[in-house]
């Protein structure tokens, strides 16, 4: 296990939120009197000594009020994604500023993931992994994680194939990675357009996983609660 167990949290939150139908970015929508982005920040606060949130410039004034709350102990730094062209670009912006040798990503709408699942992933990852993330079995998941010979092989997304996917394992929007590896890898993959998807016209972070040559360094751990994999794209998905 590596001696350094400090993590940088990267929260990509610059999405357009078109499907959500809210007058502001969906990260500011309140659920039980708490804004969605605060639900995310409160889940990760104890696990990171540095939190990098990537937003659009027009969201700065609203987010700054949250950022300056005492409970976050000045951990949060705001970064801007000028061109909204995918999660891989957003995460790459965060990795350039990361101070730690390990990082984790949590999608800004993944409000149902548990602290237990996060903690387990961080603990597993420190055992010399390059990438670690939870998976859960679902009927026709939005993203399908494919394994071959018990190793990670690929991820397929419903929005790219345009049809329902077969039953199988889905990711949960939470990923733990080695900073030095992904900082260089993502930059190269973006430059070479290897992870640019024709359907969405975006650079997809999930597609970068198949370019990790040593699949033994990718660890998938199973969780049981399907709700933890639910992201919020539409208002009616809030349970």
Where residue 1 falls among pLDDT bands split at 50, 70, 90? Answer: very low
Q: Which of the pair, 121 or 150, is modelled with greater confidence? A: 121
Q: Of the candidates 7, 6, 27, 38, which has an alpha carbon nearest to the alpha carbon of residue 232?
A: 27
- Please report the pLDDT score of residue 17 as a whole number: 58
Tell me the average pLDDT across 54-62.
94
39-49 average pLDDT score = 97
Ranges of each domain in the chain = 7-237
pLDDT at 157: 93
CATH number of 7-237: 3.40.50.2300, 3.10.100.10, 3.90.550.10, 3.40.50.2000? 3.90.550.10
Token match 């933890």: residue?
Answer: 228
pLDDT tens, position by position, 213-239? 888 899 999 999 999 999 876 665 665
| pLDDT over 60 (residue 4) | no
In this prediction, residue 20 carries a pLDDT of 53
- C-alpha pair distances (Å), 125 with each of 24, 178, 217: 36, 9, 9
Judge whether residue 21 has pLDDT over 60. Answer: no
Lowest mean pLDDT among 24-28, 29-33, 67-71, 75-79: 24-28
| Number of residues assigned to the chain | 239
List pLDDT tens digits, range 158-203: 988 888 999 999 999 999 999 999 999 999 999 999 999 988 899 9
Residues 72-114: tens digit of each pLDDT = 999 999 999 999 999 999 999 999 999 999 999 999 999 999 9
In degrees rounded to 5, what are phi and psi of residue 200? Answer: -95, -15
Task: Decide if pLDDT at 56 tops 90.
Answer: yes
Write down the pLDDT at residue 74. 92
pLDDT value of position 113? 97
Q: Which helix (H) or strand (E) holds 169?
A: strand 168-171
Q: Give SS3 for 40.
A: helix
At residue 2, the pLDDT reads 55
Average per-residue pLDDT in the chain?
A: 92
What is the mean predicted confidence (pLDDT) over 111-124?
A: 97
Residue (of 9, 184, 6, 24) closest to 107 by Cα position: 9
User: Residue 210's CB: how many other CB atoms inside 10 A?
Assistant: 16
Mean pLDDT of 20-48: 87
26 or 221, which is more confident: 221
Name 77's bridge partners: 52
Asked if residue 34 has pLDDT above 50, the reply is yes
């Amino acid at each position: 296990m590596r001696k350094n167990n400090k993590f940088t949290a990267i929260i990509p939150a610059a999405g357009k939120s078109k499907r959500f139908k809210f007058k502001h970015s969906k990260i500011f929508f309140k659920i039980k009197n708490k804004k969605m982005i605060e639900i995310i920040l409160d889940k990760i606060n104890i696990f990171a000594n540095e939190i990098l949130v990537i937003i659009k410039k027009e969201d700065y004034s609203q987010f700054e009020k949250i950022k300056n709350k005492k409970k976050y102990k000045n951990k949060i730094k705001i970064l801007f994604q000028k061109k909204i062209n995918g999660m891989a670009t957003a995460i790459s912006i965060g990795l350039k500023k990361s101070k730690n040798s390990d990082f984790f990503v949590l999608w800004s709408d993944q409000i149902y993931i548990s602290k237990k699942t996060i903690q387990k992933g961080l603990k597993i990852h420190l055992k010399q992994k390059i990438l670690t993330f939870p998976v859960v079995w679902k009927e026709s998941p939005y993203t399908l994680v494919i394994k071959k010979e018990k190793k990670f092989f690929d991820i397929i997304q419903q929005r790219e194939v345009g049809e329902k996917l077969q039953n199988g394992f889905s990711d949960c929007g939470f990923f733990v990675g080695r900073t030095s590896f992904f900082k260089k890898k993502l930059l190269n993959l973006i430059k070479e357009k290897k992870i640019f998807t024709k359907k969405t016209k975006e650079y997809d972070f999930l597609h970068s996983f198949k370019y990790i040559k040593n699949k033994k360094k990718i660890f998938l751990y199973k969780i049981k609660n399907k709700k933890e994999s639910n992201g919020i794209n539409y208002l009616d998905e809030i349970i």
